[in-house]
Structure 1
Amino acid sequence: MVVLTKPSLEQVSLPTPHKPRSCFSGIPVIDMLEPGAEALLVKACEEFGLFKVTNHGVPMELVARLEDEAVKFFSLSQMEKERSGPANPFGYGNRKIGGNGDVGWLEYLLLEVTSKSISHASLAFLKETCARSFCSVLNEYIQAMRRLASEVLELMAQGLMIEPRNIFSKVVMDEESDSVLRLNHYPPCPLLLQGLNGTMTGFGEHTDPQLISVLRSNNTSGLEISLRDGTWVSVLPDTESFFINVGDSLQVLTNGRFRSVRHRVVANGYKSRVSMVYFGGPPSRERLAPLPLLMGEGEQSLYREFTWCEYKRCAYRSRLADNRLEQFES
């Protein structure tokens, strides 16, 4: 789907271009209804930290409705989108990612999520700028993402053969879970059509902080991941599936067995890319440390215990590409 708006991105110093990467067809595909899916899922978390799920139970009609509403929002005038002021950290953002100097070829809407819906603060902003239908579909989508995240996390526990089955999922399903929904719009980059050598960074390389991220995008490429050997590869879009990223918190809980995948997004010269990402996070008070159930005899903990609140304070002080977990290593 093409977004017709022309964001005012020209005034910002642009990220350094880099060479296009080859497409990678080896991303694991997990059929959530297939017997043995839990073992395949664990293997994918260990090898890549990224996989996509099919037979996920999320209606494609719901996905299409939210994408349509997102397109309507990003097609508003710049003045309307900026009515609440710059994202700090929630709300509408344009070009600037966080407060530490990171920029990208994108605009976005970052929404705080409660246990059942978007937060009152995010809801107030949306009521100022958007139709009631946007708020309604957002809440419906958030509930679907919480269910999907929970089911995936329970499959992970099952594949790791640890009890209780909800040992991971109860963290993101907690009434005080600190979760986020992010809608991104990467507009066509005119500089790429003017013969710029390479590609333009839409969202710089990083790992996700939470336990897992559930990603869906339109049929425009742009996502890239770093393999274990440091090679960057392009991930083909799939509008029928959801991509699942392992986040830093889950890497800690599994003592590094699961990999928090480093990834980024590059801009496209011709097409808009719209993505919707649900980040399933723990409550602020949650203490994170490797689970003893997953520690072998004599195995040393790679991370000291810390709270999610401590991690977030560290994240707000860092740049996108920083390895935030370094500060919590044993």
Structure 2
Amino acid sequence: MTFEVPAIDITPYVRGGSAEERAAVAAAVDHACRTVGFMQIHGHGIPSPVTEGLAAAMDAFFGLDLDAKKGYRTPPEINRGYSPPKSESLSLSLGVESATRMNDFFEAFNVGATASDYPHACDLSPIDYADNLWPDVPGFESQVWAYFGEAARVARTMTRIFADALGLAPTFFDERCDHSLDVLRMNNYALPPGTNVELDGDLTGMGEHTDFGIVTVLWADRVKGLQVLDSEGRWNDVQPDEGAMLINLGDVTARLTNERWMSTLHRVKPPVVNGTIERRRSAAFFHDGNVDTVISTLPSCVDADHPDLYEPVTVGEHIAAKLAGSRAGVRNLGAGRESARVLASER
């Protein structure tokens, strides 16, 4: 069977389509979530100048000297700032030991929603809702923040579609995301000067992982590297369509739906061309939900044939365990179902 990521035009939700048009989109999204967990989204409405500005900002920052970039590092528990090559291991977020700990060679820069973005919410943690650390790069903050706003809009459009597809109240996700842990992670898959990585081994750009929250909106270069695990345990190359955004589900949605909808395992294996890594850029917007929201399985997703697979947990507790694995090297022992899929895959 040929692996395919469904392409879905969400224009009826972005520009006010009819009830019948929106129902068709919701049905297509439901099918994609049940069968693949990834989809190509067209009609998202993000203007090209905004994505071009994001790409320019990323180029400007990642083009800095490595020592200059390291000046923007933060402690592992603060999901902001710069991550150098080989400082993380995404497979440990699932409790899976890679051959070499902290082996992922990508570099990244994170920004996110801060406590000041949610003045209506009280006592938000300065760790979960940390201030951003903006680099001294002309235009970086404005260009990145413009894209952040557009990606946040798309993520919330997707959760409205999710609510319709699952037969939930239109405000179901809104009520659980009014102070959402939203993070934009900008990734650069290239080797900065002075980085020591063997190109003839099992090179890992980003290890096997599932995303942590509700939904991810991904902008990426049309360069090979992203691979998605199918239901047969095979890894498949995925590239975005021209002008499309890739959308995938996170663990929160898989838990809510009792795995009716899957948080699909994926990884990045950039190609080596003529002895060098072909550069690839991506920017993942993670819409994770309120830190204090309890993830409990939807009653409609539990029956005699589908017993509840998960104990309730807050979004904050779940994400903290995952980040401790990927950023601090603490193996996550609470991701047994996901790690079993990794270990059973054709590595």
Name the counterpart of 2:150.
144
Aligned mate of 1:31, from 3, 6, 9: 9
AA paired with 1:111? V
1:273 aligns with 2:263: no
Secondary structure at 2:84's aligned position in 1? strand
Q: Does 1:40 align with 2:40?
A: no
After TM superposition, the score normalised by the length of structure 1 is: 0.80
Moved more, 29-38 or 293-302: 293-302
Structure 1: gaps spanning 5 or more residues: 1-23
Deviations 1:228-277 (A, max 9, x none): 11111111233410111110000011111000000000123242101010
* Structure 1 counterpart SS, 2:320: helix
- Answer whether contact 2:324 2:332 (CA < 8 A) is retained: no
**Aligned twin of 1:102:** 102
Matched ranges for 1:1-330 at <5 A: 26-33=4-11, 35=21, 36-85=24-73, 88=76, 89-95=79-85, 96-97=87-88, 101-114=101-114, 121-123=130-132, 125-126=133-134, 128-131=135-138, 133-160=139-166, 162-172=167-177, 174=178, 176-187=179-190, 196=200, 200-270=203-273, 271-296=278-303, 299-318=306-325, 324-326=334-336
Indicate if the aligned counterparts of 1:285 and 1:308 stay in contact, CA closer than 8 A.
yes
Given that residues 29 and 162 in structure 2 are in contact (C-alpha distance below 8 angstroms), is that contact kept between their aligned partners in structure 1?
yes
Distance 1:221 1:324, change over 3 A: farther
Per-residue Cα deviation, 1:272-293 (whole angstroms, up to 9, x for no partner) = 1010100001111110011124
User: 2:106 is matched by which residue type in structure 1?
Assistant: L
| CA pair 299-203 structure 1, distance change in 2 beyond 3 A | closer
Letter in 2 for 1:281: D
User: Quick one: percent identity of the two aligned structures?
Assistant: 25
Q: 1:80 to 1:117 in 2, by over 3 A?
A: farther
The change in CA–CA distance for 1:52 and 1:294 in structure 2 (over 3 A counts) is same
Aligned partners of 2:234, 2:333: CA distance in 1, in Å?
17
1:324 is displaced (CA, Å) by 4.0
Count the aligned residue pairs: 297
Change over 3 Å in CA distance of 1:114–1:327 after alignment to 2: farther
| Root-mean-square deviation over aligned CA pairs | 3.1
Equivalent residues of 1:189, 1:267 under 8 A apart: no
Q: How far apart are the structure 1 equivalents of 2:10 and 2:155? A: 12
Comparing 260-269 with 162-171, greater Cα deviation is found at 162-171
The TM-score with structure 2 as length reference comes to 0.76
Aligned-partner Cα distance in 1 for 2:310–2:294? 12
Paired AA for residue 168 in structure 1: F
Contact kept in structure 2, 1:65 and 1:137, CA below 8 Å: yes
Q: State the SS of the aligned residue for 1:220.
A: coil
Which secondary structure does the structure 2 equivalent of 1:251 belong to? Answer: helix
Rounded to whole Å, the distance in 2 between the matches of 1:116 and 1:261 is: 33
CA deviations over 1:12-63 (Å, ceiling 9, x no partner) = xxxxxxxxxxxx7611001113631110111100111111100111111100
Q: Could you tell me which amino acid in structure 2 is paired with residue 306 of structure 1?
A: V
